[in-house]
Structure 1
Amino acid sequence: MSAESPKAIFYALAANLGIAVCKYVAAAFTGSGSMFAEAIHSTADCGNQLLLLFGLRQARRPASALHPMGTGREINFYALLVALLLFFVGGAFSVYEGIHRLVAREPLQFVFVALGVLGVSVVLETLSLLGALRVIRAQNPDKSLWRWFRETRESDLLVVAGEDIAALAGLAIAFVAVLMTVITGNPVWDACGSIGVGLLLMVIAGLIAREVKSMIVGESASPEMRRDIEAFLRARPEIHAVINLITLQWGKEIVVAVQAEMIDYAESRAMVDAINRIEADLQSAYPQVRWVFFEPDFVKR
């Protein structure tokens, strides 16, 4: 994410902590399974945001002999832990709680307390999601949200946005479930709402985990960045032809490996100076590019 990432996570942590306390109180008053599932979800979100903050801190550690390229990709590991927590602590537990309520058929009490807390939570989660979407739109004005989700290389922003979407959708399900329980007097609606919230969280957690796993395995820079770097290299007068280009996203930074045929130089020193010039200009044009490995070669004819 951008430099605004820690601030956004702190805001989300404070909001989810307050929401979780309200939900637990409301669940105790009403006996609502959907409300309790939502309280567990908000608690899991608080833990998730603490993990992301810790991961961001770990990812900023300087390079060392053991990690010569730094630890920028460590944030992906913590993002995967967050996805797993969202799946098991948020999703699976909510499904279990819903099944338990479905069997027990426990009636709700003080239902308007539950509806009020859910309504306030919807407002707060909407504001949080809008903040995440503003960051996404600022960086990717021409992409749909789904395309950004599939192509982003920022696991922390991916998790924050995914959590916000899951939270908002889960609140809507819980609100409808409690409302239907009030209208019909049948607690089965509340139990089904808890199960619905759990299944939703498990689906979204699975989607997040799939994307983060790909980042851990190793992804190239975004398609737009790769195209820009290739266009930059092909436009250089020192380069006769670009033979191969590899990019690798390394946390917030990018590794570039170039194999290119240079124009004819009378001396090897002149070619080395030209390569150094290209590397410096590339890093100046694209500050995300931290490492450049340049191999001069010949096109096989």
Structure 2
Amino acid sequence: MSAQPGSRTSVIVTMVIVAAQAVVLGILAAVTGSAILYASAMFSVADLGVEVFLLIGLVRVARPADERHPLGYGQEIFFWSLFAAVGLFVGGGVASIVQGLGEPSASGGSYALGYLVIVLITVSDGWALAVSVRGLGARTAVTGRSWWAELLTGSDPAAKTVTLSNAAAVVSGPIALAGLGLHQATGDELYDSLGSVLIGILLVAVSGLLLRLNQNLIAAPSVDPADLARIRHAITEVPGVAGVRRVIAVIVGPHQVMVAARVTLPPATDLPAAERAMSAVEERLRRRPEISEVYLTPVAPE
């Protein structure tokens, strides 16, 4: 099973929104000279790059398995998601901080227009966030895990990246409004620059979290202990199985898990009975939608 269609929908929706935002904010930042609007524009540009990387990964991960990639191309999305996190770090976070620390420039445009644009953009970011959260919610209904656990330990980096980047965009809206409002109220460009720096710090923090989450997935980890225990329990419940000597359940792609197990059979089990037991174990495991490959080895009791 490849990445869910919901992940691709979230990416495409976010891509369309941030592309429009980048154009509007870029024009407004050029007209006003506002550092905080420039930071918001850079965030939109960086976010657009993030969505492009994720879409490339989702397209490539959908390719069927072949001789060179017998387990499929699921891990490609981990690679492209890592690029997306780096792009958000450099193109959004670092650029915003550098802009905020630069020489302040007076705003030469309408504050009312700035407020209106930021509010509209924040609302659109909220809509994109709702779409991505809905996708994660659909996944929790399958796995039985909490929304937070799915976000941190789930195997779909596209869903994680688009959700966290959209959340950062929503949070950056009030920061931009506060910086612009304090600039207008005091006439001090320092607040405008400070807002830009705060947005940059927010993006650096989010990209750092994404880098960490993607690092864990690239290392091809086991599923979490609770899922591993459920897999072990499912095997031992099959008639004709005496126990499980060892189970390995490795994440090989978004919602794709390879299971390998050494299954203990009762003494004096004949070959037909052993084959029936192994077939029953494999059939039971494949009922779990995330299990894509099963390799079983029957062994005698220790």
1:174 alignment counterpart:
176
Between 1:217-226 and 1:63-72, the stretch displaced more is 217-226
Between 1:265-274 and 1:289-298, the stretch displaced more is 265-274
**Distance in 2 between residues matched to 1:132 and 1:199, nearest whole Å:** 23
Amino acid at match of 1:203: A
**Distance in 1 between residues matched to 2:49 and 2:242, nearest whole Å:** 53
Between 1:106-115 and 1:224-233, the stretch displaced more is 224-233
Is the 8 Å Cα contact of residues 7 and 135 (structure 2) preserved in structure 1? Answer: no
- Describe the SS at the equivalent of 1:4: helix
**Distance in 1 between residues matched to 2:233 and 2:204, nearest whole Å:** 41
Amino acid at match of 1:263: P
The structural deviation recorded for 1:222 is 4.5
- Describe the SS at the equivalent of 1:239: coil
The structural deviation recorded for 1:292 is 0.8
**Distance in 2 between residues matched to 1:143 and 1:98, nearest whole Å:** 40
Q: How does 1:19-98 map to 2 (within 5 A)?
A: 19-98=21-100
Q: How does 1:100-179 map to 2 (within 5 A)?
A: 100=102, 104-109=103-108, 110-140=110-140, 145-179=147-181
Amino acid at match of 2:116: G
The structural deviation recorded for 1:108 is 1.1
**Distance in 1 between residues matched to 2:58 and 2:216, nearest whole Å:** 19
**Distance in 1 between residues matched to 2:268 and 2:293, nearest whole Å:** 25
1:257 alignment counterpart:
260
Is the 8 Å Cα contact of residues 267 and 300 (structure 2) preserved in structure 1? Answer: no
Amino acid at match of 2:120: V
**Distance in 1 between residues matched to 2:269 and 2:189, nearest whole Å:** 85
**Distance in 2 between residues matched to 1:180 and 1:23, nearest whole Å:** 19
The structural deviation recorded for 1:288 is 2.3
Count of aligned positions: 296
The structural deviation recorded for 1:72 is 0.7
The structural deviation recorded for 1:299 is 3.9
Deviation string 1:169-205 (CA, Å, 9 cap, x unpaired) is 1222111111110111100000011111111100110
The structural deviation recorded for 1:143 is 5.2
CA root-mean-square deviation: 1.7
Distance change in 2, residues 1:292/1:169 (3 Å): same
Deviation string 1:199-245 (CA, Å, 9 cap, x unpaired) is 11001100011011100001223455333322211211121011211
**Distance in 1 between residues matched to 2:269 and 2:238, nearest whole Å:** 18
Deviation string 1:117-154 (CA, Å, 9 cap, x unpaired) is 11101101111111212222232267555433322111
**Distance in 1 between residues matched to 2:41 and 2:269, nearest whole Å:** 72
The structural deviation recorded for 1:105 is 2.5
**Distance in 2 between residues matched to 1:121 and 1:263, nearest whole Å:** 65
Decide which of 231, 235, 238 is 2:240's aligned counterpart: 238
Tell me, which stretches of 5 or more residues in structure 1 are unaligned? none
Between 1:199-208 and 1:286-295, the stretch displaced more is 286-295
- Describe the SS at the equivalent of 2:244: strand
Deviation string 1:49-73 (CA, Å, 9 cap, x unpaired) is 1111111111122222222211111
**Distance in 1 between residues matched to 2:269 and 2:21, nearest whole Å:** 70
**Distance in 1 between residues matched to 2:112 and 2:31, nearest whole Å:** 10
Distance change in 2, residues 1:115/1:223 (3 Å): farther
Is the 8 Å Cα contact of residues 80 and 212 (structure 1) preserved in structure 2? Answer: yes
Between 1:250-259 and 1:217-226, the stretch displaced more is 217-226
TM-score normalized by structure 2? Answer: 0.92
Amino acid at match of 1:119: V
1:277 alignment counterpart:
280
Distance change in 2, residues 1:84/1:224 (3 Å): same
**Distance in 1 between residues matched to 2:135 and 2:67, nearest whole Å:** 35
Is the 8 Å Cα contact of residues 153 and 222 (structure 1) preserved in structure 2? Answer: no
